[in-house]
Chains A and B, each alone.
Chain A
Amino acid sequence: MNQPPLADLRRAALAAALLTLLPWAAEAAADDPASKGYAIAVEMDRRETGFGDSAAGLEMILSNAQGQSSRRALRITTLEEPTADEGDKSLVIFDRPRDVQGTALLSYTHIAEPDDQWLYLPALKRVKRVSSANKSGPFVGSEFAYEDLLAQELAKYTYRWLRDEACPGPAGAGLACFVVERIPVYENSGYTRQLVWVDQQEYRPIRIEYYDRKDALLKTLELRDYRQYLDRFWRAHEMTMRNQQTGKSTTLHFDDYDFGQGVSEASFNPKRLPRLR
């Protein structure tokens, strides 16, 4: 027996209704703030993938509210881990101030587990494995915490897209930004959340606001002077972290980066630290 025509009609109507709903459903998925925020972070991460290794020297200028300043010079080498389940390795060596010249900090970032860190103290020729629980502590007295400087692995946060707006500050002039909230899921973070302004064209962070454990605005990071390497990778050459509560600030001026120097895995072996210069 054939089904009554009405039934067919009803089915057709339902199908039509569903069809009209589909684009809306797709829109809903993308517009769901969590999915959209995550998608933006994935895209940022994707654009960062494949750099291999990079090295740059930088000057760090620490200023207090009275305008007194102090300078540091350091070199950072980063080795990308080819697998997605491991974080990058980074090596920081100090050239100035002179009393800490040769001091080195080696970090292995991990996705799920705590990071590994070794500190090399040249006066004693001593390598110390140090606690990586010190996420929120200041890095060498600056306004940057360790967690601000270590590799920003995708899985270290949950994300939520908040809104689209014009990118802030002089670096963002003429650019449209996503504003994404990210919440650290790793232990010992000093932040309840961060707001990241990401430019919609190149997916570069333009500004980051850091909210402390009481959810008050603590610090603002402005990233400027972006230069592109290997026709792909954007690097900010000036970063200013301003503490909104104390008036202190720290500015990083990066030299040009070197990419793909073929840095060997052995140079990131903690046992080699005493011989690195």
Chain B
Amino acid sequence: MRCRADRACFAAVAVALAPAPVAAEAAAEVDAVAGGSVAVETRVFTRPPASPRQDRAGFSPSLVIEPELRLEWNDGLDYLTLIPFVRLDADDDERTHADVREASWTHLGEDYDLVLGISKVFWGVAESRHLVDVINQTDLVEDIDQEDKLGQPMASLTVLRDWGALTGFLLPGFRLRTFPGDDARLRGPLPVAAGEGRFESDLGQGHVDLAFRYAGTFGDIDLGLAHFFGTGREPRLLPEARGGRIELVPHYDLIHQTGLDLQATRGAWLWKGEAIARAGQGEPFLATVAGFEHTRFGVLDTAVDLGLLAEVHLDGRDDAAPPTVFDHDLFLGSRLAFNDVQGSEILAGVVVDWETGAMAWNLEAERRIGERYRIEVTLRAFANVPDEDLLAGIRKDDYLEVRLARFF
């Protein structure tokens, strides 16, 4: 629904936030756009959990509410975005949580953009690991694929030129990573101390992180180069004795990280690579993900596009850094885009550790129903996971998730 608001309603907001010259104009017309989604979902676990402490219920429903409100003025060159987020989970108290995904003012200048407030930023090109993406903290209780992020307070200024875009970020207010509860599925072998964090910086969560990024396009090459200095989003989990049991406490370190992402788009072939150099967690190390996506458009005389994906993972971190599953792995996947009215898509793949043979299988299918509903089905399964592997805690947590969302 799109409604035109009375000048009196939003004039105060507009005047308070807009630069003086546009304020008068802004008051003349403010558009309010409301939307968002409500979703019901359930996970179905096929096997009993690895630990007796975990909930044995095989059926785990959840409700997600994510409204979205936008106020626009100055011909859409200024807008406020508000996206609160609430999840109510039947089984996991940690997964039941609320967040402000976005609450920001954006100003689009002639050749610069300014964002002030809580927002989200994505960097990178790879599909199976988002290595260079460092701005937002992972909302891990949402999904183990780490693609869900918490809102990050920021001031960012992007300068747009024909040679590319240069962005500076000021990031006050560190967000703690979320972790599933002690009795929940899809958690590590040991429980994580909820809502706690130890910081290398004396300022703790108050340390203001900095980041810079250059992104440009040169013919069929898209390139991004970024540097981050501040409290790294990825914690080390160190065991501590707590009330007669061992809990893992997240330790957040100050890091320097330089990241490079590159994509060459050559016809039906997308060649992708991301690499980082990080200092501050053990010895400085390099990590990379590189591969391709090749698409066969309109296979077998249908409208269906078939994509084939392959990505190689290497990571040189030592034991003093947070462990990663992507140390020596290969991702193979396939994407089917049906190009139908319902926008049906299937992405299926497997990540294999070529040293241990551990495998994480993954299938995501989605399709629109009517004009306002969307159904998503996710299937994850783990195989050959050794006892000492990072995935050991979730090796019995194969699950099917069905999610039905209604959009407003």
Residues of A within 8 A of B (CB): 62, 64, 70-71, 96-101, 114, 116, 124-134, 136-138, 140-141, 187-188, 190, 264-267, 269-272, 274-277
Contacts and interface: CB of A to CB of B under 8 A. Distances in A.
Contacts of A277: 70, 72, 76, 79
A62 to B, nearest CB: 5
B98 interface: no
6 contacts: A99-B405, A127-B122, A188-B297, A264-B110, A271-B164, A275-B158
Contacts of A114: 267
Given A137-B303, A140-B343, 18 more contacts: A97-B371, A97-B372, A98-B37, A98-B372, A98-B407, A98-B408, A125-B120, A131-B269, A131-B295, A133-B267, A134-B297, A137-B298, A264-B111, A266-B111, A269-B165, A270-B217, A272-B160, A277-B72
Residue from the set A62, A129, A132 with the largest chain B CB neighbour count within 10 Å: A129
A271 B215 contact: yes
Contact of A101 (B164, B305, B407): B407
Contact of A271 (B122, B165, B305, B343): B165
A64 B342 CA distance: 13
Contacts of B200: none
Residue from the set A70, A133, A266 with the largest chain B CB neighbour count within 10 Å: A266
Contacts of B220: 116
A71 B96 CA distance: 35
A141 B267 contact: no
Interface in B100-123: 106, 108, 110-113, 115, 120-122
Contact of B160 (A133, A141, A271, A274): A271
B298 A70 contact: no
Nearest to B263: A129
Contacts of B72: 277
A99 B298 contact: no
A131 B272 CA distance: 13
The 8 lowest CB-CB distance pairs between A and B, nearest first, are: A98-B407, A271-B165, A141-B341, A125-B122, A266-B160, A99-B374, A266-B111, A133-B267
Given A266-B160, A277-B79, A62 B341 contact: yes
Q: How large is the interface on B (under 10, 10 to 19, 20 to 34, 35 or more residues)?
A: 35 or more
B147 interface: yes
A24 to B, nearest CB: 48
B60 interface: no
B46 interface: no
Contacts of B268: 131, 133-134
A132 B219 CA distance: 13
A129 B222 contact: yes
Given A141-B339, A275-B108, A70 B371 contact: yes
Contact of A275 (B106, B215, B295): B106
A124 B106 CA distance: 18
A276 B160 CA distance: 13
Contacts of A266: 110-112, 160
B407 A265 contact: no
Given A101-B407, A137-B303, A124 B122 contact: yes
B35 interface: yes
B318 interface: no
A151 B165 CA distance: 26
Interface string B216-244: 11001010000000000000000000000
B51 interface: no
B265 interface: yes
B339 A275 contact: no
A137 B340 CA distance: 10
A98 B217 contact: no
Nearest to A103: B343
Contacts of B355: none
A98 B270 contact: no
A181 to B, nearest CB: 24
Contacts of B407: 97-99, 101
A36 to B, nearest CB: 34
B31 to A, nearest CB: 10
Nearest to B112: A266
B111 A131 contact: no
Nearest to A108: B217
Contacts of B165: 269, 271-272
A145 to B, nearest CB: 10
A114 to B, nearest CB: 7
Given A99-B368, A271-B164, A134 B343 contact: no
Contacts of B70: 277
B162 interface: yes
Given A124-B122, A272-B113, A277-B76, A134 B305 contact: yes
A123 to B, nearest CB: 9
B295 A134 contact: yes
B342 A141 contact: yes
Contacts of A100: 343
Contacts of A116: 217, 220, 265
Contacts of A270: 217, 222
A264 B298 CA distance: 36
A98 B265 contact: no
A124 B125 CA distance: 12
Contacts of A136: 297-298
Nearest to B79: A277
Contacts of B79: 277
Contacts of B408: 98
